[in-house]
Amino acid sequence: MSAARRKRASRAAADASGLWVEVFDHLFASAAEEMGAALIRASFSPNIKERRDLSCALFDARGRMIAQAAHLPVHLGSAPLSVQAAIAAVPMQPDDAVLLNDPYQGGTHLPDLTLVSPVFLAGERRPSFYVANRAHHADVGGAAPGSMAPARDIHGEGLRIPPLKLVRGGRFDRPILELLLANMRVPREREADLDAQWAANRAGARRLAELCAEHGRAVLVRRAAELLEWSARACRAELALLPRGRFEVEDVLEVPGASRDGLARIRLRLELARSGATFDFRTTDDQLESPLNTVHAVVVSAVLYALRLLLPAHTPTNDGVLAPVRVRTRRGSLVDACYPAPVAAGNVETSQRLVDVILAGFDRALPGRLPAASSGTMANLSFGGHDARGAAFTYYETIAGGAGAGPERDGQSAVHTHMTNTRNTPIEAFELAFPARVERLDVRRGSGGRGARRGGDGVEKVVRFLAPVRGAWVAERSLAGPIGRAGGARGACSEAELALDGAPKRRLGSKAAFDAPAGARLTVRTPGGGGHGGLSPAP
């Protein structure tokens, strides 16, 4: 064969291989989407069924994520550490499942319960793959309903679960399950949602078995490895286009008592080099007695998400994206907390600020090309109590805000941005399930930052409680709104207030637990996104 023919044959083989890798990217991702659909259909709580506060993914035999569904970035980027912790801690047999939520062993915060199952293919004695899903449960115990109220240590936030085998040979280990449920509010709802998580893992394992029957185990394993390499090459190529250099940025979190000004600082040194990128957070402030502490897994999640924003739309999202980067944190810091630091808000609030910081670093390298900061908070509301019949209830939601404006378009209004990808709870479902009424849910007009491109507007929501409740409001950007870019203005700040008819309104801080009698009205307003570009002066 001539050299030209060999070259053409080699190129054709490479093209065919690339085509098959893309085919398997869709096959694996579809299996993860099918897991999510099963979890949504089978779940019981509005937070999972309606808001879709869940994520599903597939992993190789080493616990590396090979495919994910289009669920929550904060869940998916950190999930490999949970899977790897489960593999290391608990030997798994067919039809087993390991449960965990321990933030210091691969988890994020306590309400996120992760269920990991092995997938044995073609008579193999060891798992060829793993499937896992993570769902935010409306309560996992602790001092306050919803397990999200400010606490001074991890024990006040709920039940901490190291990797343990919850399902053995296809059946729940009842003594373990009963122990868990005894420490959670509304145990029947918790059990139903755990059962739904187990159904989701079975759906994923079944789909992988069908793919194995069609293509063979060796092909599945090879294509999974090729997917990781494909994403790694794409990330290396994209990073190679960025200017070389070191870029230092910081942003703040609102932590009363943390310092003289009540702010805690996240600091990033972003180093862009020929070999890849380093995200160094080691000079971030020390951990605090604040729920805003977070763990290394959440930092990795934020880095993966921010990198994925820079990559072409068709790039598979998997662990390969992280191959050309290093993520450095310091144990005992705000972003790599150690026991017994509380972490409930780290997964929801600090993760958002981490994204803001990372994108600010990229903005230094690519001035004017990145959007302004979005709302910068998930605006977390949780509450619980007992209704008129004495039945217990708990509720949790995140509330949408404004997206930051970009160099070419205004920001969208009333959307969940960055590390959250949940939905709004439909008012009908909310009022059917809980003794509360939504009196107002509207776009917060004018809350987006001004600029050549305007930031999206936040949301105003008014809830009237029909029974006494204990609740919590955990948010950010209440002191200074989301940052604009290229001369754009900040968005409006978050606000929350509690009132009874005829009584003065009580302003809630951004990290507040509260008790409200029946008839009390809670009003929350979420931030608008930052504006982009300066306004032209008036003629």
Secondary structure letter of residue 320 according to DSSP: G
pLDDT at position 10 over 70: no
Q: pLDDT-derived band of residue 539, with 50, 70 and 90 as boundaries?
A: very low
pLDDT value, residue 227: 95
pLDDT value, residue 536: 53
pLDDT value, residue 9: 41
Residue 386, in any domain of the structure? yes
pLDDT for 241-254, tens place per residue?
A: 999 999 999 999 99
Residue 245, in any domain of the structure? no
Residue 152, in any domain of the structure? yes
- pTM given for the model: 0.94
The structure tokens listed for 482 are 């989301």
pLDDT value, residue 11: 44
The residue among 209, 232, 255 that closes a domain is 232
pLDDT at position 16 over 70: no
Residue 241, in any domain of the structure? no
> Which distant-in-sequence residues (6+ apart) come within 8 Å of 483 by Cβ?
251, 356, 360, 372, 373, 490, 530
Residue 268, in any domain of the structure? no
Instruction: Count CA atoms closer than 13 A to 42's CA, side-chain side.
Output: 22
User: Of the candidates 36, 174, 161, 181, which has an alpha carbon nearest to the alpha carbon of residue 86?
Assistant: 161
The residue among 211, 232, 253 that closes a domain is 232
Dihedrals φ, ψ of 423, to 5°? Answer: -110, 165
Residue 357, in any domain of the structure? no
The residue among 206, 232, 258 that closes a domain is 232
Pairing of strands 469-474, 511-516: antiparallel
The structure tokens listed for 44 are 């019981």
Q: Angle at which helices 3-42 and 217-240 pack, to 10 degrees? A: 100
Return the sign of the alpha-carbon dihedral for residues 31, 88, 319, 217.
Answer: negative
pLDDT at position 12 over 70: no
pLDDT for 192-220, tens place per residue?
A: 999 999 999 999 999 999 999 999 999 99
User: Of the candidates 79, 46, 73, which has an alpha carbon nearest to the alpha carbon of residue 201?
Assistant: 79
Residue 414, in any domain of the structure? yes
Residues 372 and 228 in one domain: no
- Per the structure, the complete domain to which residue 175 belongs is given by 12-232
Q: pLDDT-derived band of residue 17, with 50, 70 and 90 as boundaries?
A: low
Domains identified in the chain, total number: 2
Instruction: Report the pLDDT averaged over residues 488-499.
Output: 97
Is the separation of the CB atoms in 499 and 521 below 8 Å? yes
Residue 476, in any domain of the structure? yes
pLDDT at position 444 over 60: yes
